Structure 1
Amino acid sequence: MEIEKPLMVVAIDFGTTYSSWACSMRHEYEDNPTKIHVRQWIGGEHLSPKAPTTVLIKPDGTTLEAFGYAAQDKYAELVEGGQHKLWYFFTRFKMKIFTTNGLSRQTMIEDITGKLLPAVTVFSRAIQVMKDDFLSQFKSKLEGRLEERDIRWVLTVPAIWNESAKQFMRQAAVTAGIRNEYLRIALEPEAASLLCSYLPMKTFTISGKHSTFQTFKKGSKYMILDAGGGTVDVTVHEVLGTGKMKELHKASGGAWGGTVVDGAFRQFLIKLVGNSIFQKFSMEHTDDLLDMLRTFEVKKREIQTKKDSTIILRIPISLLNIYKNETGKVLQESISQNEFAGKVKIINDKIKLEGTFFREFFTQAIQSITSFVRTLLQNKNLEGVKSIIMVGGFSECLILQESIISSFPEINTIIPQDAGLVVLKGAVIYGHNDDMILERVCRYTYGIAGAIPFVKGVHKDEYMEESDVGPLCNSIFVKIVEAGQHIKLHERQAERYFSLNSEDQDHYTFPVYISTSVSPTYVTDVGCSKLGSLTISGIDTSVPLKDRKVAVSMIFGGTELEVEARDVHTKEITTVILDFLQ
């Protein structure tokens, strides 16, 4: 059993593009919640508070060789020596579980060469290396002072992820050696909101027409725009006082993060040299590709909307040579005859991109984000929102900042220092105090399948089934909570009773469904899907069958769904297993 107030909290921000961990002791949190230790990673000649989310696994398919910058460097060495073909190199793989339908423990993901490994293996190795890295960094400081149960681990996930994806991350963390009872799941924009509520005003850059900045005053409402590498999460909070908050609108967003910009740049390179040449370059000179993408990442954050200066990147000589060998032409000369004439120039090993053309890489992502935010702000339930707080690594991009400021001049746009670290640090605060969000809004309608008396002409004939009490209509969506419903933290829903059917039955399993509709009729309606199953076990078989019933109550309002079941006859709490991984 975990203690109520852990002596240390360690948060792992598992990002699409970059990841890291941070921590603080209980006494540090009580003295100053923002006093948080952030890991510094070595990348080349620089220190960075985050490392690339890259994993290198040995040819056996299970053993981790390296993570982050070290994984990139080691893989580049293997490629250069022609020894990489049996190794597994994964990069920017987090979004795989967001885009995968029917996510399961057997879900496979591809490395950059198309080789497959179980997703849970790749994710757990990434979490494990950060867990072990923390323990090695703090071993001398913690030895003899802290036991395993004194540490609470926090793992961040996007707020728009469903229960299946959250359970997958929890499973990966447990596989990595973090005990289930010591782990909390934090929603990324919520974590950011918590940190921002503690930061002094001087640490924010503020743009907007309002003369006073009272974002965290009791009664104030603000939007958190968490723009990361993969997803953009948006949530809206109202301050309740005493540091508590409530969610005003269900978490929403989409896959419009910084990798969309990276994808546009990659498509430009493919058009520039041709797909086959780009793939050959990617496979044979991975180190040069990674260097080019690192440089692009820096330029991506610095580019501004109002400047027409030329953007200069280094183009690898290896790519120029492959192009010449494959086509018999010089790339510099070919550009003058294709669609990039006047927009792109190559001089020696430099590629110069006209500023307006470079900004086109951002068009899709920024239009998606601004359009979504605009629609959200028109919601009548969000009247009074006067601030947008931009957090996440992509929020450090100047062109995104300027686009939000210019698109919503009537609202304060607030950008904290080190916006890319806000989620990570906020997750540490959440680990110390996980009841600061007192009310959340359901993203989906949750329910179970049930049966009601069949009414001819009302119900579908295919769902009719005869029973001792007359014809019944099966597959009815029995609603428990509905999308958009405001639910208080750990709010217990009405109990549902289930009877067992045979003398030797000591467990009961039934499916749980979700729907994007507020009031679906059948579990097969458009927008409905099976979330997973719920199994109640440990039921006393000595109780007569007619009295053998269980009462099940679902508990919402936290970052994960909870369920409690009790044996009606013995009144004992029974074991419940939630399985959202198909």
Structure 2
Amino acid sequence: MEIEKPLLVVAIDFGTTYSSWACSMTHEYADNPTKIYVRQWIGGEHLSPKAPTSVLIRPDGTTLEAFGYEAEDRYARLVEEGQHKLWYYFKRFKMKLFDNLELSRHTMIEEITGKTLPAMKVFSRAIESMRNDFLSQFKSKLEGRIEDRDICWVLTVPAIWSESAKQFMRHAAITAGIKNEYLRIALEPEAAALLCNYLPLKMLTISGSQSTFQTFQKGCKYMVLDAGGGTVDITVHEIIGGGKLKEIHKATGGAWGGTAVDEAFRQFIIKLVGNPVFQKFTLEHTDDMLDMFRAFEVKKRDMQLMKESTVTLRIPVSLIRIFEKETGEVLHESIGQTEFSGKIKLLNDKLKVDATIIRDLFSKSVRSITDYVSALLKSKHLEGVKSIIMVGGFSECQMLQESIVSSLPEISTIIPHDASLAVLKGAVIYGHSQDAIVQRVCRYTYGIAGAKPFIQGVHKEEYREETDVGPLCDNMFIKIVEAGESVKLYERREGKCFKLNMEDQDFYSFPIYASSQASPTYVTDEGCRKLGCGAIVNLDKAVPLKDRKVEVSIIFGGTEMEVEAKEAHTGQTSKVVVDFLL
């Protein structure tokens, strides 16, 4: 399962809002697991450990022009020059994979002006850019003596993502030039938890009931709250010693991340100037628009919203001028006629806003996260959880931190320094120690479609099939593992033994299903959905048909589902190709 002794591990944290890569050498990891190099990006006048997840593709719809801050700045120049209409500019597109039941290799996504390209192409270009960026920096340091087998690549995904979304990201990485056998998928909150296990107390900020937190010792149970730009991922772990963890509650969460606050801020500006003015500003002064949102990104993490009475925001002069030209009004006078009258003052390019208005921008996301966490901790089987580790970029938001601490005073709230980098650095550690999570909890009930002897009065008549062995009921859900059930790392669960029915049959395919129900009867029951299709190839045809049976097993406990098939008459086992992107 693990790559044997790679020279180094490179992790790519592909985020909704920001992305980056980090790495560490295997020999350095052995001495100090937290010695990790993180890429520094240039954004305007600042250095940043992450770059915007923005992709600019040339008018041919294929060639990558730029990624990150460079993509933002290059597109802004194209807009100013009136040359942008044929180009493809994508930003914050990761959420297109979240909860997308129709996801396939051919899924299309829209760029900023409404043109579309295959999502696979856009994702792969972003990954390819970060892969090439790493190679260009480190090949010189390694004197060019580096081969594919020397690198273990790790790509992060939310723990609440579907199997199809994980497979989509794997295929995007392969398309980007990363070989399948050297690629691992890491679940974001798990990666962050691995990092925190190695951090000294001086690298952690602890609030709330500090007396309940000692150190990350054996038996310690804690929740990981990974609040990113798009999704909020929640997992619960128990430390079992030796640097190992086990999951004690299935991954859960929702789309309550920081981008919801950004959208609320955008709507706030639109209320001030009107949508036509804002759209004109966005198209004609894209660089100023980007600067405004970059400044707000910094503000939303640092603002002491529960303490301040007013918050000062800088409004681009170009936006003020467009408003006055298009409306014939003066903006600071016009504000007095809006719902914000008496709560906002505009002085030159400084907007002084009553803090209650800014708090409202955060309130929906913060309340959703806090209420969900509070309800989850009331679960009986989580009684021993006394600590919450907050990671991810949105966890650096003071208002979210204060809301969690005040709502759960009996819980220790632990925030690592540079919480936004916890997933990225933890993914590097995961690449070195892929067996650190020894047990996980199934999010769904998994099974395959099959047939059972038909029972009159019990089974649906519409699914009855007459066969040589008697009447059978088709479309039965053959359960392999149940939602909420714990499975060990790479635990094999036997599924169903299929009997082949054709002499020359050397191929067999079967669907795999997931259900939110504990024990569905049929694959057509409410809550059931087809995950994908498994294919067994090159079956042995040298024995009589009556002896030809294939037993299918699903391997759980890893970050991705695996399926194996064993031919009954030979005992030969082979990995099954499963396509979750139908």
Q: TM tier, shorter chain?
A: over 0.9
Structure 1 residue aligned with 2:415? 415
Structure 2 residue aligned with 1:302? 302
Q: Which moved more, 1:476-485 or 1:461-470?
A: 461-470
1:394-432 deviations in whole A, cap 9, x for unaligned? 111111111111111101111110001011000000000
CA drift at 1:145: 4.2
Structure 2 residue aligned with 1:202? 202
Contact 2:3 2:152 in 1 (8 A): no
Structure 1 residue aligned with 2:13? 13
Structure 2 residue aligned with 1:478? 478
Q: Which amino acid aligns with 1:186?
A: A
Structure 1 residue aligned with 2:263? 263
CA drift at 1:110: 0.7
SS state of the match for residue 24, structure 1? strand
CA drift at 1:527: 1.1
Instruction: Give yes or no for the alignment of 1:157 onto 2:152.
Output: no
Superposed, 1:4-43 pairs within 5 Å as 4-43=4-43
Cα-Cα RMSD? 1.5
Contact 1:215 1:222 in 2 (8 A): no
Instruction: Give yes or no for the alignment of 1:490 onto 2:490.
Output: yes
Contact 1:16 1:230 in 2 (8 A): yes
CA drift at 1:543: 3.1
Instruction: Give yes or no for the alignment of 1:353 onto 2:325.
Output: no
Instruction: Give yes or no for the alignment of 1:338 onto 2:314.
Output: no
CA drift at 1:349: 2.2
Superposed, 1:5-84 pairs within 5 Å as 5-84=5-84
Structure 2 residue aligned with 1:538? 538
CA distance in 2, matches of 1:363, 1:549: 58
Flag structure 2 segments of 5+ consecutive residues without an equivalent. none
Contact 1:13 1:156 in 2 (8 A): yes
CA distance in 1, matches of 2:212, 2:107: 50
Structure 1 residue aligned with 2:132? 132
CA distance in 1, matches of 2:567, 2:494: 16
1:15-41 deviations in whole A, cap 9, x for unaligned? 011110000011100000000011011
Structure 2 residue aligned with 1:146? 146
CA distance in 2, matches of 1:316, 1:112: 21
Contact 1:237 1:246 in 2 (8 A): yes
SS state of the match for residue 536, structure 2? strand
CA distance in 2, matches of 1:143, 1:562: 38
CA distance in 2, matches of 1:471, 1:499: 16
CA distance in 2, matches of 1:506, 1:453: 26
Q: Would the alpha carbon gap of residues 324 and 305 (structure 1) be closer, same or farther in structure 2, given more than 3 Å must change?
A: closer
Structure 2 residue aligned with 1:383? 383
SS state of the match for residue 104, structure 1? coil
Q: Which moved more, 1:334-343 or 1:382-391?
A: 334-343
CA drift at 1:470: 3.5
Contact 2:494 2:551 in 1 (8 A): no
Structure 2 residue aligned with 1:191? 191
TM-score under structure 1 length normalisation = 0.97
SS state of the match for residue 225, structure 2? strand
Structure 2 residue aligned with 1:572? 572
Q: Would the alpha carbon gap of residues 3 and 367 (structure 1) be closer, same or farther in structure 2, given more than 3 Å must change?
A: closer
CA drift at 1:553: 1.3
CA drift at 1:54: 0.5
Contact 2:154 2:431 in 1 (8 A): yes
SS state of the match for residue 386, structure 2? strand
Q: Would the alpha carbon gap of residues 130 and 155 (structure 1) be closer, same or farther in structure 2, given more than 3 Å must change?
A: same
Contact 2:480 2:495 in 1 (8 A): no
Q: Which amino acid aligns with 2:508?
A: Y
CA distance in 2, matches of 1:341, 1:65: 45
Q: Which moved more, 1:405-414 or 1:283-292?
A: 283-292
Structure 1 residue aligned with 2:504? 504
SS state of the match for residue 95, structure 1? helix
CA distance in 1, matches of 2:342, 2:452: 69
Structure 2 residue aligned with 1:237? 237
Q: Would the alpha carbon gap of residues 555 and 2 (structure 1) be closer, same or farther in structure 2, given more than 3 Å must change?
A: closer
1:223-266 deviations in whole A, cap 9, x for unaligned? 11111111111111111011111111001000111001111111
Q: Which moved more, 1:543-552 or 1:120-129?
A: 543-552
Structure 1 residue aligned with 2:94? 94
CA distance in 1, matches of 2:455, 2:87: 61
- Percent of aligned pairs with the same amino acid: 71
Q: Which moved more, 1:170-179 or 1:347-356?
A: 347-356
Q: Which amino acid aligns with 1:414?
A: I
Q: Would the alpha carbon gap of residues 448 and 425 (structure 1) be closer, same or farther in structure 2, given more than 3 Å must change?
A: same
Q: Which moved more, 1:158-167 or 1:346-355?
A: 346-355
Contact 1:215 1:387 in 2 (8 A): no
Instruction: Give yes or no for the alignment of 1:172 onto 2:172.
Output: yes
CA distance in 2, matches of 1:476, 1:279: 53
Flag structure 1 segments of 5+ consecutive residues without an equivalent. none
Structure 2 residue aligned with 1:314? 314
Structure 2 residue aligned with 1:522? 522
1:338-364 deviations in whole A, cap 9, x for unaligned? 211122222322222111111110111
1:259-301 deviations in whole A, cap 9, x for unaligned? 0111111121222222333223222322121111001111101
Runs of 4+ in 1 over 4 A off after TM superposition: none
CA distance in 2, matches of 1:100, 1:350: 41
Contact 2:99 2:161 in 1 (8 A): no
Q: Which amino acid aligns with 1:113?
A: T
CA distance in 2, matches of 1:281, 1:144: 47
CA distance in 2, matches of 1:260, 1:203: 29
CA distance in 1, matches of 2:531, 2:358: 42
Contact 1:538 1:575 in 2 (8 A): no
